[in-house]
Amino acid sequence: MAYFEKGYPEPDYGRAAKKKPVREENFFRSAGTGKDSFVMLSETEEADSEDTEEGRGEEEGSEEASEEVREKTGEETSEETGKEPRLPRIPEESKPFMGMRQGIAYWGFSQKGESHKKNGLPCQDRCRVLVSGGDFPIIIAAIADGVGSCALSHYGAAIAVELSTAFLKEQLDACPDKKFDDREIGDLLRETMQYAYDSVRQAAEELEQLEYSFQSTLTIALYDGTALYVSHAGDDGVVALTEEGELELVTSRIKGEEASSVYPLQAGPGYWQVFKVDGYVNGFVMATDGVLDAFVRGEKEGNKVYYPFIQPAFETEQKNRREVEEVRDFYYDYMAGKEYRRTVTDDLTLVVVTNQNELDEKKFPVFDEEAWRMETREYQEKVKAALYPDQEEKREKEEEDFYGNGQGAEKKPKKDGRGLKALKGLFSRKNR
């Protein structure tokens, strides 16, 4: 990937916010270019056009539930400040949306995780897609995940997503015929991140709350059907599918030294990534960690992608709105089901954008399921050996004694390297 600053530094991981093992949208909006005031976003304003968003309805919405959430998210008198809170209503959760513009299909949703349902807490994830331009549309997508240990992070995530996408659309719409070069887009994305950062801080001040309570991640993508630009803060992710059929996690999980810590948007510009993905991109996926960690391995395992999870989103034809909606609903229902939620309790956000004009069967990844399983077993064995070295040494000694005494000599396994060869072929390109 190409960073927009020469010698762009790797993030200096310093000020991480702690996240709970678990992890709502569109409630603040700037008036016009107004960076100085916030207003409530009504449902009629939510959809900028017929193409941009289409809801499936709210999962929850009773005033009683909102009151219960307020009690559990610190919306009573602030003990830290001693002031009466001035918080508006709990922001609505991101509704499922979908759209189609000039052959570019997009859809997405956020869902409340089982932990937050169980504890009566709000969903802290947010997502949104807007479209700028006419004959040559630019997709503007954003996701955010509120930091679990911050009581009002669902407000912060909502502000960051809502205002960053609105700001970008306003800037791009103001110059419909302008040809932006890479550096200009990089500068615009940095300005947008700063705008989101300042907006969250300003909202905290206006609502007389601690800024820390509003912390969230933020990942933004700009896509014109071939070029993908990203700005990113936190441990969410973007997985891109190139024209060569390669699938790759292009963002970094910007975490702290502790497994449960993250460097959010509020960590500042030194912890943000802004870049253009190399080459042409035929589609991409954006996901908060509740989804990302389910199909993308960790850094120690090379961030390898389990393609079968996202395969239907890329390989199912989506040439009209009905087909786009069907794919979205397939994922929505699957991730709301017991099978997925048996192992994932976090809030969930998934956004998928594909250029249907460019996708064909020769440009999809080839995935080796058996090699993936083998690699998974080997990694688990290494982790077990590292966590329980005494048990591993005991097992090796017992095996050595067994074979050393001539017992079962014919059964002793040989290390022929076939497993390694299989692993080397993982994700290799093959002709279908």
Stretch (H or E) spanning 159:
helix 153-173
Q: Are residues 305 and 403 in the same domain?
A: no
Instruction: Find the mean pLDDT for residues 119-140.
Output: 91
Domain boundary among 363, 397, 414: 363
pLDDT number for residue 54: 45
Residues 314 and 390 in one domain: no
Higher confidence at residue 155 or residue 71?
Answer: 155
Q: 307: domain range?
A: 2-363
Residue 32: the pLDDT is 32
In a domain, 432, yes or no: no
> Residue 60: what pLDDT?
36
Least confident of 52-61, 78-87, 312-321, 374-383: 52-61
Beta bridge mates, 354: 105, 283
Last residue of one domain, picked from the residues 315, 344, 363? 363
- The answer to whether residues 329 and 411 belong to one domain is no
The string over 322-331, giving b where at least 16 C-beta atoms fall within 10 Å of a residue's C-beta and e elsewhere, is ebbbebbeeb
Same domain, 268 and 378: no
Helical (H) or strand (E) element with 315:
helix 307-315
- Burial call 408-425: b when 16+ CB within 10 Å, e when fewer: eeeeeeeeeeeeeeeeee
Q: CA-to-CA distance for 219 and 4, rounded, in angstroms?
A: 16
Q: Which of 363, 378, 402 is the last residue in one of the domains?
A: 363
How many whole angstroms separate alpha carbon 198 and alpha carbon 190? Answer: 12
Number of domains in the chain: 2
Reply yes or no on whether the pLDDT at 8 is more than 50.
Answer: no
Q: Do 235 and 382 belong together in one domain?
A: no
Asked whether residue 430 is domain-assigned, the answer is no
Q: 380 and 276: one domain? A: no
Is the pLDDT score of 194 beyond 90? yes
Percentage, residues of the chain above pLDDT 70: 68
Q: pLDDT tens across 385-422, in order? A: 777 776 656 666 665 665 555 554 444 444 433 333 33
The identity of residue 290, as a single letter, is: G
Q: Tell me: pLDDT of 149 over 50.
A: yes
Determine whether 406 is exposed, middle or buried from the number of CB atoms within 10 Å of its CB (0-12, 13-18, 19+): exposed
Shared domain for 308 and 242, answered yes or no, is yes
What CATH number is attached to the domain comprising 86?
A: 3.60.40.10
Q: How confident is the model at residue 423 (pLDDT cuts 50, 70, 90)?
A: very low
Residue 134 has pLDDT above 80, yes or no: no
**In whole angstroms, what is the distance from residue 363 CA to residue 50 CA?**
31
Cβ(46)–Cβ(26) below 8 Å: yes
Which residues, 6+ apart, have CB-to-CB distance to 196 below 8 Å? Answer: 159, 160, 163, 164, 167, 218, 265
Are the C-beta atoms of 307 and 241 separated by less than 8 Å?
A: no
Let me know whether 358 and 388 are in one domain.
Answer: no
**206 and 273 inside one domain:** yes
Indicate whether 140 and 209 sit together in one domain: yes
Is 282 in the same domain as 391? no
> Does residue 84 or residue 300 have the better pLDDT?
300
Does residue 377 surpass a pLDDT of 80? Answer: yes
pLDDT tens per residue across span 221-230: 999 999 999 9
One domain for residues 320 and 280: yes
Average pLDDT of span 156-171: 95
240-294 pLDDT tens trace: 999 999 999 999 999 877 767 899 999 999 999 999 999 999 999 999 999 999 9
